[in-house]
Amino acid sequence: MEDTPHQPIAPKTLDELQSLVRENTAIHPTAAFEIPHSKFKIQNSRISLAAFNNIVEYQPEEYTITVEAGALVSDIQAILAEKNQYLPFDPPFAQNGATIGSMIANGYSGPGAYRYGILRDFILGVSFVDGLGDLIKTGGKVVKNAAGFDIPKLMVGSCGSLGVITEATFKIFPKSPATRSIVFKFSSFSESHAALLKLGRSHFTPDSIELNTGGHLFIRLTGQAASMDQRVQALESLLGERPETQSEADAFDSWDSSVNLRDFPATGILVKIATTPTGIASLNNAIAPHSANLRYSIGGFATWIHWDNDISDLSEILQTLNLSAQVVQGDTPSRIIGITHQQPFYQRVKQALDPEGKFSDPYRRTEPRQVRGHDRFSLPRQ
């Protein structure tokens, strides 16, 4: 098993993984950070969980699925689709090869999270190897469970900094019989933003809402086919604008492009900002002079930004606006930028689960410690 700079070590069993964690000083799981084959690929990964790619348990009638962390999100989506089920939070980058582990560690949720919640609302259980090399199983495999600390949620967005995630259980939903995608094409961002707020104050319950900076408001409705025409008409009368109804093929392409940020440039830094529907107006103004790509997802509660400039400039802008953000792709000194008020609490939890600091800290403005020589690895070499 070689430890070359771009060739991660791939343990084949939990025992091997636990030994690796116990006997090394710096651990960097690729399934936690890296989207394989991604245009945003980063280079400093060390452990691959490629061997952990099984479905552990899937009984469609339970509406839960337990999978290993190295499994591809796209494979899981395909298996669920066969049974007319899905992950309602629309995980981004599935088509780029995102794994279940990277999805959890980066906290990937897409536009569909608007209706029923983001990834953290669908994760029921997590197994992980902590900084001591212990295998910890938390949460459960049933849809409701209040026993023990909710570590599964803590792992969402943890950037692999609290342990190597090996397995997770998710709540899944039945697919609705019908969907309808419509686009309101306003002439400016401020008009589409006003429409978003109006929609937020109504009783309408779209499945997904997205905005681009050009005044387009994308809405996806799900439910029974018989209700669609009426629901679209009701939205039209609420917003006083006739929407464009997308064909099935156009809708698929449009949402796929949106979920996977296909129109973003291939190089640079990708950041997810936790925003609010009202707050995105100020963010839009603040970013405008920097000519960065922006996409307002989850009805304005998440903003994706592609940043080609100094990351500290973006961090300063976010601090001014009292916003926190997470770098999900690209090499930056720290992964959490903008407001970092969670840090003192996080450090206590980090100390408990990773007392020797083997996993890199997303708040620290330092490079993760690198394992230099492969002689420190105890696994048998292949």
Partner 1 sequence: MTSFIEKLRQIYPPERLYEDEARLIPYVSDGLTAFREKPAAVVMPLNSEEIVETLKLCHEHQVPFVARGSGTSLSGGSLPISEGIVISLNRLNSILEIDPDNRTARVQPGVINAHLSAAGAPHGLYFAPDPSSQSVCTIGGNLAFNSGGAHCLKYGMTSNHILGITAALPDGEVVQLGNDSLENAGPDCVGLFVGSEGLFGVALEIQLRLLPIPETYRTMLASYDSLEAAGDAVAAVVASGILPGAMEIMDKLAIEAAEAAVNAGYPQDAEALLIIELDGEASAVDAEFEALTASIEKTNAKEVRIAQDNDERLLIWKGRKSAFSAVGRLSPDYLVQDGVVPRSKLGEALKEISRLGAEAGLRVANVFHAGDGNLHPLILFDGNEAGALECAEELAGKILRYCLKLGGSITGEHGVGVEKLSFMPEMFSEADLNAFKRIRKAIDPHEISNRGKMLPGKEAPALSHSGPHPLEKAGIISRM
Q: What are phi and psi of 157, to 5 degrees?
A: 85, 10
Q: Which is nearer to partner 1, 50 or 77 (CB)?
A: 77
Cα separation of 68 and 153, whole Å?
A: 17
Shortest spacing between CB 382 and partner 1, in angstroms = 29
Question: Phi first, then psi: what are they for 103, rounded to 5°?
Answer: -60, -45
Q: Which residues pair with 68 in a beta bridge?
A: 167
Measured CA to CA, the distance from residue 227 to residue 341 in angstroms comes to 45
Nearer to partner 1, 118 or 294 (CB): 118
Please identify, using beta-carbon distances, which residue of 5 and 333 lies nearer to partner 1. Answer: 333
Our CB check for partner 1 shows the closer of 234 and 379 to be 234
Do 134 and 19 touch, CB atoms closer than 8 A? Answer: no
Output the smallest distance, CB 303 to partner 1, in A. 9
Minimal distance, residue 45 CB to partner 1, in Å: 20
In terms of Cβ atoms closer than 10 Å to its own Cβ (0-12, 13-18, 19+), residue 373 is: exposed
- In the complex with partner 1, the residue whose CB is nearer, 40 or 296, is 296
42-81 as b/e: b if 16+ CB within 10 A? beebbbbbbebbeeeebeeeeebbbbbbbbbbbebbebbe
Decide whether 9 or 167 has the Cβ nearer to partner 1.
167
Nearer to partner 1, 10 or 358 (CB): 358
- 3-class SS of residue 69: coil
CB 266 → partner 1: shortest distance, Å?
24
Cβ-count burial of 291 within 10 angstroms (0-12 exposed, 13-18 middle, 19+ buried)?
Answer: exposed
Q: Which is nearer to partner 1, 75 or 173 (CB)?
A: 173
Q: How far apart are CA 259 and CA 379, in angstroms?
A: 39
**CB 175 → partner 1: shortest distance, Å?**
6
d(C-alpha 94, C-alpha 293), whole Å:
20
The SS3 assignment for 190 reads: helix
CA 368 – CA 359 distance, rounded (Å):
8
CB of 333 to partner 1, least distance (A): 15
Report the nearest approach of partner 1 to the CB of residue 134 (Å).
4
3-state secondary structure of 303: strand
Kindly report the backbone phi and psi dihedral angles of residue 16, in degrees, each rounded to the nearest multiple of 5, phi listed first.
Answer: -60, -45
Q: How far is the CB of 7 from partner 1 (least distance, A)?
A: 29
